[in-house]
Structure 1
Amino acid sequence: MSEATPPTTPFKPALVIVDVQEDFCPPTGSLAVAGGRDIVPLINELLALPFPVKIATKDFHPQDHVSFASNHKPPNNKPFTSSFVIQNPLNKTETIETELWPDHCVIGTKGAELLPELDVSKVQHIVEKGQDKRVEMYSAFADPFRNPTVSKSGLAKILHDAGVTDVYIAGLAADYCVKFTAVDAVGEGFKTWVIEEATKPVDPAAMKWVWQEYERVGVDLIGMDHNAIQKVKEYS
């Protein structure tokens, strides 16, 4: 008698829209990504598809966040060029070097708001990240420390509790929060798709390194015409 084939988990996709916020977009964002607003029509197209789970994330920092150059002493406090070594507050032997940024997405400010043209009426969950002033948190899942992790957003629990199998990612910025979210999605056990034209990078020259990382961990970079999108269109 042949062994029984193990049951397969039914396909259940989720859309995760990363940090489509005022401070990451022209014309007034303090950390504006070139063309950041231009991806919203594509994201709204994705929101119109029958994803059973649709989530938007928000960078959501206190004013004294460690990633803000303004919170560090000169001369090593220049946005975009200075860096800082963060110690894991729960394990001083674990450290991560991070870039310093202009103040952005501060809780209670206009810059932290999702873009008004984003169709949030179709979003079921808004996940906030980066509230712990002690750690950087590009990923929408958790900070980068692993021994132990300091701050988790709850995104993984939402996705696992919903029985999601595949995570589709769009948003800002392609070389930072989108990348780290995608890598962590794979780590959480999800088949992960990044929709390339529905993202924009801070530094386009850095994207070759992002693509190498995707290939290394198993993230699929796709276009709107990919059959993985067609599979969502046919979802019921």
Structure 2
Amino acid sequence: MLFKPALIVVDLQEDFCPPDGALAVQGGRDIVPLVNDLLTLPFHAKVATKDYHPPDHISFASNHEPPNNVPFISVITIKNPLNAEEVEETRLWPDHCVRGTKGAELIPELDTSKFDHIIEKGQDKRVEMYSAFADPFLSPTVSRSELAPILHDAGVTDVYIVGLAADYCVKYTAVDARKHGFNTWVVGDATRAVDPSSLPEVYKVYEEMGIRVIGKDDAFQRIKDVDRVA
């Protein structure tokens, strides 16, 4: 049976990691040794993703008027700029991963030499884009990355996902990977969540979609004997 796995490392950036990240996820740096170990395995494609926002991005609380502009708490409704009848709710965040700033850089502990591709997302100021594939709008989609074509062109069958944050960008990237037809695996040991209490609900979504959460040992066992295809 054909098995051509890819590894997607989601948003291991300075602003998502302690001690100084603007939107630091607790324990975010702790997963790096495991991610680096995974990067040594013979995946057919290894992809890093980065939030790479303009300073006037719609998800930044600083770009909205009080009182509905409290980071982590306030929620706004975004209209599809190409179809006002389609709307999405999104949480507001501190300014983070602004393009060209230190906060947008991949953390130095991460072995970036192993990546075949780096995907920058969230560059359209008008829409939120947790998923590394596309924003959530469907009629039509406003912003779409090159991730799906990269994976399809490489003949990838299975996508393994790690990184930050488990309840946001990892979750939505996994959901979209499954929608694109890839067998999708989340290596739970190599993720951390903004709100760990939300993970049972995240995993329920995964179960309904056929996305599997696995441990590091299972991931290593599945990938270690794959013959890499150049």
- Fold shared, TM-score > 0.5 on shorter chain: yes
Q: How far is the alpha carbon of 1:89 from its aligned partner?
A: 0.4
CA RMSD of aligned residues (A): 0.7
Q: Pick from 82, 96, 106 the counterpart of residue 88 of structure 2.
A: 96
- 2:39 paired with 1:47: yes
Residue 230 of structure 1: how far off its partner (Å):
1.4
One-letter identity of the residue aligned with 1:51? F
Please list every run of at least 4 consecutive aligned residues from structure 1 whose deviation after the TM superposition is greater than 4 angstroms: none
Matched, 1:66 2:84: no
Q: 2:165 & 2:188 partners in 1: Cα distance?
A: 11
Structure 2 gap segments, 5+ residues each: none
Could you tell me the TM-score, scaled by structure 1's length?
0.95
Alpha-carbon offset, residue 153 of structure 1? 1.0
1:164 and 2:118 matched? no
Q: TM-score, normalised by structure 2?
A: 0.98
Instruction: Give the letter for the 2:48 counterpart.
Output: A
The alignment status of 1:215 with 2:207, answered yes or no, reads: yes
Matched, 1:77 2:69: yes
Which amino acid counterpart does residue 208 of structure 2 have in structure 1?
R
Counterpart-to-counterpart distance in 2, 1:121 and 1:207:
31
Percent of pairs identical after alignment?
68
Shift of 1:166: 0.2
**Which secondary structure state, in structure 2, belongs to the residue aligned with residue 225 of structure 1?**
helix
2:4 maps to 12
In 2: Cα distance, 1:231 partner to 1:47 partner: 14
Deviation at 1:125, TM superposition (A): 0.3
Cα deviation digits, residues 14-61 of structure 1 (max 9, x gap): 000000000000000000000000000000000011112100000000
Task: Tell me which residue corresponds to 1:22.
Answer: 14
Matches within 5 A, 1:106-145: 106-145=98-137
CA distance in 1, matches of 2:172, 2:119: 15
Q: What letter corresponds to residue 17 of structure 1 in structure 2?
A: V
Corresponding position: 1:232 with 2:216: no
Work out which of the residue numbers 178, 198, 212 in structure 2 matches 1:186: 178
What displacement does 1:163 show?
Answer: 0.4
Amino acid at match of 2:223: V
Deviation at 1:225, TM superposition (A): 1.3
Query: Greater CA radius of gyration, 1 or 2?
Result: 1
Counterpart code for 1:80? F
Matched, 1:174 2:135: no
SS of structure 2 residue aligned to 1:182: helix
Provide the aligned length of Structure 1 versus Structure 2: 227
Alpha-carbon deviation of 1:193?
Answer: 0.3
Quick one: distance in 1 between partners of 2:110 and 2:122? 21
CA separation in 2, counterparts of 1:81 and 1:193? 30
1:92 aligned counterpart, secondary structure: strand
Q: Report Cα offsets for 1:69-126 as digits up to 9, x if no partner.
A: 0000011100001011000001000000100000000000000000000000011100
